[in-house]
Amino acid sequence: MKGMASKKARSGQRPSPRQARTTLSPQNRVIVALLAPVLAGTLLAWLTGLLVEGAAASSGSRAPVWAAIGLAAWFVGLAFYGLPGMGLKGGRPLFAGIAFATLGWVTFLLFRAIFIPIDPEVTGSTRAFIYTLLFEAFALQVWTFGLLFRAIADWRGALTAAVAGGVVFGAAGFLLFQNVYTASLITLIYYTTWGIFYGIIRLRTGSLLGTAIIQAMQIFTAWVALGSMPPQTAEVQLLWVYGLSALVTAVFIWRLWPKVESDYRM
C-alpha cells in the first residue's frame, strides 16, 4: 500500500499534457500566443525590407519572416505547454490528418486543372517544395494550430480554438503566401474556409503534422507541378477555382464538425 501511495504521489507531481506550465492567466496566454509571433514576424519584415517591398517580395525574402513566426510560436509553446501540448503527434493522428486534408487537396487540384491552363514547371521545384513545407506550412501551423490553438482552447474551449486558429491561418495565408494571385473577397473566403477545415482536422485528430504535409503538397502541386498562373489567365477563372473550392471545403467542415465533446482530440 505504501508503494502504491508513493507511486500516486510521484504521478501527481508530473504535469499532464493539458496542464499549462506558466502562471499566466488563460486570457494573457492567448494575447501572448497571438502577438508574440506577429511581432517577431513584423520585426524581421522590417529588418529585411519586406514592409517596403510588400506583395512584390520574393519567396526567399519572406522566408525569414515565416521563420521568425514559427520560432517565436515554437519557443513560447514549449515554455507554456511543452512538446506534448503542441499537437505534434505521429502515428494514427498523423495519418488521419493526412486522410482528411487530402479531401481538400484533391478538390482544389481538380478545380485548378479545370479552370486554369496547365504548364508544368521543373526548374527550382525542389527548392519551392522545401520552402513551402518548412515556412508556409509548418511554421504557420505551429503558430495557428499549435500554440494559438492550445491557448484559446484553455480559455474558450477546443471548438472555438479550431475556428479561431483557422481564421488566423486564413488571414496570414492571404497576406503572406507567395501564390495569392488575386486579393479578392472570394479569395479571402477560400483561405478562411481552408484554415477552419484544417482547424477542425486538428481538433478531431490531435495533430497538425498531417495537415502541414498536405498543405505543402497542395500548394506545390497546384502552383508548381501544374505550373504557376499563366499571364493570360482571366481573374474570373481564378475566382471560380477559389469559390468552388471554398464551397466544397465548407461541406467537408460540416461533415467533420464534432457532434459531442468526446470527438475532441487535444
Q: What is the average per-residue pLDDT within 237-261?
A: 95
- Sign of the CA dihedral with 190 first, then 176, 82, and 23 last: negative
| Cα–Cα distance, 80 to 15 (Å, whole number) | 12
Within the chain, residue ranges assigned H as helices are 2-13, 26-48, 50-53, 59-80, 91-115, 125-131, 140-141, 148-156, 158-176, 185-205, 209-220, 235-256
CB 17 within 8 Å of CB 85: yes
DSSP three-state, residue 185:
helix
Across the chain, mean pLDDT equals: 87
- Quick one: which of 28, 22, 93 has its CA closest to 264? 93
Does the pLDDT of residue 19 top 80, yes or no?
no
Under 8 Å CB-to-CB from 209, ≥6 apart: which residues? 87, 88, 89, 90, 93, 94, 97
Percent of the chain at pLDDT > 90 equals: 65
Q: What is the pLDDT of residues 187-229, one digit of tens each?
A: 999 999 999 999 999 999 999 999 999 999 999 999 988 888 7
What pLDDT score does 38 carry?
96
